[in-house]
Amino acid sequence: MTTTSSLIPTLPGRSYSDPDVFADEQAKIFESLWFCAVRGEDVPRPGAFRTVQVGRESVIVVRGRDHRLRAFLNVCRHRGARLCEEPAGEVRRTIRCAYHAWSYDLDGRLAAAPNLAKMPDIDRVAHGLIPVHLREWLGYAWVCLAAEPPSFEESVTGAATERLGDPAAIERYHVEELALGRRISYDVRANWKLVVENFMECYHCATIHPELVAVLPEFAGGYAAQYYVGHGAEFAERVEGFTVDGGPGFGKLPDVAREQDRRYYAITVKPQVFVNLVPDHVIVHRMFPLAVDRTLVECDWLYHPDVVASGADLTRSVELFHRVNEQDFDACERTQPGMSSRAYREGGVLVPSEHHIALFHQWVNQRLRG
């Protein structure tokens, strides 16, 4: 990105603090684009389900008897009661409404209801659950509430190609075959865009990430890996693995290329996913914006299945990015109150190493105008 000024403006403060702006984002961003909802292994058997908040809607992701994943709006078609109150669970045969006992097959079709036999004119498909578009990638179910979703290849998988410069680069990690080693949820009292912006830049890294900079010393210069297409930050010479103390990890994943070894790559998949690639594991962040000043972030550490099955101690591996997360989210929470200050009414500024964040701001504005 080229510019004639060292400092360029950010979004105005109200973009991060106004509930009306957030409602607009819910409709035009989170309810209109592909949203990474759940990891496939979280719904392992027929009847297993997860509920997830997508924009203003609750969505059920369920494993069918044919072992396919499907997604539906979490609303009974009879009188609008919420069907599944729990974040996760398992049903034997049908999804049953606790209000009037309308029941739905795992493919969404109306299966049973009191006195249904006396209403033979009811179309069980038309009065079934409202389906939500679903695609699987990297072992996760991605859903889209739009009637006509945007191209998954352009808006989701294309983000990895755009960042890494090579369609095959992310495929070599075989993320869909990895096993969940650890999951940590963070309740961040900050606007979702502050979390995205923080992840995209490293101007703050030398200040608040001593452990990360010790492993990836080039970050001390303030330029994030995402500033350059195809670039992965190189491990320090003395560092053996992507761990909190620089000690050994678990060995390179089998198909990671030689040029990808001992490097860290970061990908932002708008609007709510971060993918972090290191030689021996992958870290995936999923954001769930709940309010203008509150974002739930679920972070998964994924390893080769043999590592997880062996019961290996993941502590040093997980601790590095857990500390990074806590440091980042503390910074975001420190920033949130300033968004409603008169001092930030017109916004702030981006220094040259942050100029690429302006592209994210342009994308947000385009979505809201559209």
User: For position 167, what pLDDT does the model report?
Assistant: 86
CA 366 centroid distance within chain: 21
Q: What are phi and psi of 101, to 5 degrees?
A: 65, 25
Identity of residue 304: H
For the stretch 228-242, pLDDT in tens is 888 999 999 999 999
Task: Over range 244-265, report the average pLDDT.
Answer: 96
d(CA 321, CA 319): 6
Looking up tokens 């203008």, which residue turns up?
Answer: 292
Yes or no: say if 215 and 242 are a contact pair by the CB < 8 Å rule.
yes
Does residue 1 register a pLDDT over 80?
A: no
Per-chain mean pLDDT for the chain? 96
End-to-end distance of the chain based on CA atoms, in angstroms? 23
pLDDT at 116: 85
Q: Tell me which residue of 112, 87, 90, 110 sits closest to 101, measured CA to CA.
A: 112
Token pair, residue 301, equals 């550490």
| pLDDT score recorded for residue 322 | 98
- Among 59, 48, 28, 138, CA closest to 92: 48
Instruction: Tell me, rounded to whole angstroms, the distance of Cα 50 from its chain centroid.
Output: 16
Question: Does pLDDT of 70 surpass 80?
Answer: yes
pTM: 0.95
What is the Rg, in whole angstroms, of the alpha carbon atoms belonging to the chain? Answer: 22
